C-alpha cells in the first residue's frame, strides 16, 4: 500500500500510478483507501481532474518514500545474491600490476564463476573508465581525475629503490639520497613529482633531483633494465618482490621511505554497482588485505620495514 501511495503522490493520478505498478485504477484507489483507514487520516484530496496531497499526506510522504526505497533495495540485494555472475567484465590496470599479480587473481576469480567473460586491458595511461567503457579500473597512486568515480582502496603500494648486485659492485652503494645524483637512475615517467625523488626518515624529509639515465612509461621495462645492471630503479614492492627475494635485485637506501601510495579500485559512481563488479572488488580486497602477499614475504625476509 505504501508503494501505491508514493506512486500516486508522484504522478498525481490513480490511473497513471496503476499503469506504473500494473494495477487497475480501481485497485490503486482501493489500496489508498485501506491505507487511510489504517492510519485514521486522509492522505489525498480527490477531484475529477487531479489528486493532491493533504497536509498529513505531505508529512507522511517522506518517511513513506524512504521505506519504499529501502524495500526496493532489499529486493534488489536478494535478486543479486541469487543471480549467477555471468557476462562480460571489462577491467583496466597498469601493465606492471596487471601482469604480475592482477592477471592471476582474475583467473582464479573466473574459475569460481565460469559464466563470466572477463577482459583485462593493461595500459599505464590514466584512462577514464567511464569514457572508455571499463567496469572496473585498478590504479596506482594519485587519482586527480576521480570526479564521477567511486574509489575503494585495495592495498598499500610501497615504493622501493632497487639495483642489481652487479651494478652495486661496479658503481658502489648509495649511503644517502644525495648520492643518487652520482648514479645512473632508471626513471618512471608517470611519477607525479617528475625527476624529483622524495624521501622521508624519522620525520626528516628530503628531495633529490636525479638525472635519469633511462626513462620509460612502463615499470616492467625499467625492471628489466635494472636486472641487466643498467642502474638504480624507482620501483614498487609488488613489482620487485620476486627479484628481491631471489637476490637478483637489492634494495637501496633501505633506511629511507619513499611516498606511500595505494592500489585502488575505481568504478563509475553514477552507475549502480553490478553484482559481478562488487564480487570482484570483494575478492580483491580479501586477496590483498590486511597485507598483500608481496609485502608480507618481503617483511618476513627482513627486506622491508613495517609501515
Q: What is the pLDDT of residues 226-237, one digit of tens each?
A: 999 999 999 999
Q: What is the pLDDT of residues 1-22, one digit of tens each?
A: 778 888 888 888 888 878 888 8
Tell me yes or no: is domain 159-252 CATH 3.40.190.10.
yes
Instruction: Determine the pLDDT at residue 150.
Output: 84
Q: Any idea what DSSP says for residue 180?
A: G
C-beta of residue 73 within 8 angstroms of C-beta of residue 116 = no
Q: What is the pLDDT of residues 177-221, one digit of tens each?
A: 999 999 999 998 877 777 899 999 998 999 999 989 999 988 999
The CA distances from residue 50 to 14, 42, 220, in Å, are: 9, 16, 68
Instruction: Determine the pLDDT at residue 42.
Output: 87
Q: What is the pLDDT of residues 50-59, one digit of tens each?
A: 788 888 878 8
Task: Name the fold adopted by 2-82.
Answer: Arc Repressor Mutant, subunit A (1.10.10)
Q: Give the whole-angstrom CA distance, residue 47 versus residue 12.
A: 11
Q: pTM of the full predicted structure?
A: 0.69
For the domain spanning 87-158+261-293, the CATH number is 3.40.190.10
Domain coordinates of the chain in residue numbers? 2-82, 87-158+261-293, 159-252
ω into 290 cis (within 30 of 0): yes
User: Residue 142 above 60 pLDDT?
Assistant: no
Domains 2-82 and 159-252 share a fold: no
Cα Rg, the chain, nearest whole Å: 29
Burial of 66 (0-12, 13-18, 19+ CB in 10 A): exposed
Instruction: Determine the pLDDT at residue 83.
Output: 56
Average pLDDT score, the chain? 86
Q: Give the whole-angstrom CA distance, residue 149 versus residue 151.
A: 6
Amino acid at each position: 500500500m505504501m508503494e501505491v501511495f508514493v506512486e500516486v503522490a508522484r504522478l498525481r493520478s490513480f490511473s497513471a500510478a496503476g499503469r506504473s505498478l500494473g494495477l487497475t485504477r480501481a485497485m490503486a484507489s482501493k489500496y489508498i483507501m485501506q491505507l487511510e483507514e489504517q492510519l485514521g487520516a486522509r492522505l489525498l484530496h480527490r477531484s475529477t481532474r487531479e489528486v493532491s496531497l493533504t497536509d498529513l499526506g505531505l508529512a507522511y510522504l517522506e518517511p513513506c518514500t524512504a521505506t519504499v526505497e529501502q524495500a526496493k533495495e532489499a529486493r534488489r540485494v536478494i535478486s543479486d545474491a541469487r543471480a549467477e555472475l555471468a557476462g562480460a567484465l571489462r577491467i583496466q590496470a597498469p601493465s606492471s600490476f596487471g601482469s604480475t599479480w592482477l592477471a592471476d587473481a582474475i583467473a582464479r576469480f573466473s574459475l569460481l564463476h565460469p559464466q563470466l567473460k572477463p577482459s583485462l586491458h593493461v595500459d599505464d595511461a590514466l584512462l577514464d573508465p567511464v569514457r572508455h567503457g571499463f567496469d572496473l579500473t585498478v590504479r596506482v597512486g594519485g587519482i586527480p581525475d576521480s570526479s564521477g568515480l567511486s574509489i575503494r582502496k585495495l592495498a598499500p603500494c610501497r615504493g622501493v629503490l632497487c639495483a642489481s648486485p652487479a651494478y652495486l659492485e661496479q658503481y658502489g652503494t648509495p649511503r644517502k639520497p644525495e648520492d643518487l645524483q652520482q648514479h645512473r637512475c632508471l626513471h618512471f615517467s608517470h611519477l607525479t613529482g617528475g625527476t624529483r625523488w622524495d624521501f622521508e626518515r624519522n620525520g626528516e624529509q628530503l628531495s633529490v633531483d636525479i638525472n635519469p639515465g633511462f626513462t620509460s612509461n612502463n615499470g616492467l621495462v625499467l625492471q628489466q633494465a635494472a636486472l641487466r645492471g643498467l642502474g638504480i630503479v624507482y620501483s614498487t614492492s609488488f613489482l620487485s618482490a620476486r627479484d628481491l627475494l631471489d637476490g637478483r635485485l637489492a634494495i637501496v637506501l633501505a633506511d629511507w621511505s619513499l611516498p606511500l601510495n595505494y592500489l585502488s579500485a575505481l568504478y563509475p559512481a553514477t552507475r549502480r554497482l553490478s553484482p559481478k563488479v562488487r564480487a570482484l572488488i570483494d575478492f580483491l580486497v580479501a586477496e590483498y588485505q590486511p597485507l598483500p602477499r608481496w609485502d608480507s614475504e618481503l617483511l618476513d625476509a627482513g627486506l622491508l620495514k613495517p609501515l
